[in-house]
Amino acid sequence: MKTLTLLRHAKSSWDDPVGRDFDRPLNARGRRAAVTVGRHLRGQGVSFDYLIASPAVRVVETLDGFASGYGPLPDVVEDRRIYLASAATLLEVVQGLPASVERVLMVGHNPGLEDLVLALVPDGTEGLRDAVEEKYPTASVAEMRFDASDWAAVRPGGATLTRFVRPRDLDPALGPDAVGT
């Protein structure tokens, strides 16, 4: 059984004058959300034995905050293919993961992460999939399980969505209508 957890980077700052989208940092609410989500997953007993992430600044800062709430994480494997990737590219990254790892945390961007969940989880499964389809907000986490012994066997429609957590589910002040963020 393989478990893939997708973490969308936390809320970034559009006010910070950076030359490239790649260099955009988190804003204050994003930093709080990353810590909150990390703390929540630690409290739920979620664990990872492999971590792969986009090298974008907002992802690096999300992981810093996440680790502050979660605790020690596996060493980060940065993969530039994850930066603003399509679901098809992300699926190729997943299929190329080492067969020896069981619980992977992938940190990246939308719309690729949301599209990947919707491709991997069969249509017609209600509840969590509907929530992902509605919106996959920043700092949200989707956890999927696969009845596979090797990541190369992961195919569209082959996942069970076991968890979808948005920051606002944990703290309403981290939601879209929060004041002073």
Q: Which CATH superfamily is domain 2-15+22-148+158-174 in?
A: Phosphoglycerate mutase-like (3.40.50.1240)
Distances in Å between the alpha carbon of 107 and those of 16, 20, 84, 115, 124?
A: 22, 19, 11, 14, 26
- Give the Cα separation of 6 and 12 in Å (integer): 18
What pLDDT digit, counting tens, does each position of 130-151 carry?
999 999 999 999 999 999 999 9
Better pLDDT: 14 or 43? 43
For residue 47, name the pLDDT band (cuts at 50, 70, 90).
very high
pTM of the model: 0.94
pLDDT at 181: 44
Residue 14's pLDDT is what? 75
